Amino acid sequence: MSKDAYIYKVLPGSPGGPLLFVFHGTGADENQLLSFGRELAPSATLVSPRGDVSEQGAARFFRRTGEGVYDMDDLARATAKMAGFVKAHVEAAKPSAVFGLGYSNGANILASVVFAEPGLFDAAALMHPLIPFEPQVQGSLAGRRILITAGRRDPICPPNLTTRLEAYLRADGADVTVEWHDGGHEVRPNEIEAARRLFALSLVGAGGKKNG
């Protein structure tokens, strides 16, 4: 495990406060969600890694062979690497809580880490995730808050797959909220408010708990 496994940026927050990891969408970088994350969780220290895969110059967190067709071997590689990166930062910071926020491809890598390491994040906001496979959760998500946001006319993330992901997560014990809007792949104000509520409630619920 290495804190430097990725190129990344950190925005310091309150000492002993939560850690919020933010994961950008395809073609963006570590700067995309920093101000957004600060708005959602003002006391958190933000950690924002840059995807280590290039798709015709566009940064991503894992490879794909087409829209919604994932290189599952590379996803497994990326998931293990990201989980190690997150754990290294958590061990160094000893935060009061660990949160995750991802958009599009960033939501997909965050979801995959949640499946592989269900005890790692206290709360996760998955904005427009696309999980076209049946996840195998390595443990229980009981007590973990997960927000999924989605557009009913999203050309990239079909609504039926959003509903299926919700069912998988609920079946594994997660406290799941789904926030819809009538648009496409864009992020709208109701999603932002839902994410803000998620982290505020999770911070209160953490009650000073330390994640080692």
CA–CA dist 170, 9 (Å, integer): 33
Phi and psi at residue 46, to the nearest 5°: -95, 135
Collapsed DSSP state (helix, strand, coil) of residue 41: coil
Tokens of 101: 């926020």
Helices (H) and strands (E) in the chain — how many of each?
Answer: 5, 11
Active site residue 185: yes
Kindly tell me the sign of the dihedral angle through the C-alpha atoms of 48, 104, 58, 109: positive
Active site residue 14: no
Active site residue 112: no
Catalytic residue among 104, 128, 172, 202: 104
Instruction: Please compute, for residue 181, the number of CA atoms within 13 A of its CA located in the half-sphere on the CB side.
Output: 15
Phi and psi at residue 24, to the nearest 5°: -75, 170
CA–CA dist 37, 119 (Å, integer): 21
- Asked if 72 and 62 count as a contact pair (C-beta separation under 8 A), the reply is no
Neighbouring CB atoms inside 10 A of 108's CB total: 29
Name the residue type at position 190: N
Phi and psi at residue 179, to the nearest 5°: -115, 115
Catalytic residue among 154, 172, 175, 202: 154
Tokens of 37: 């994350």
What positions carry a catalytic annotation? Answer: 104, 154, 185
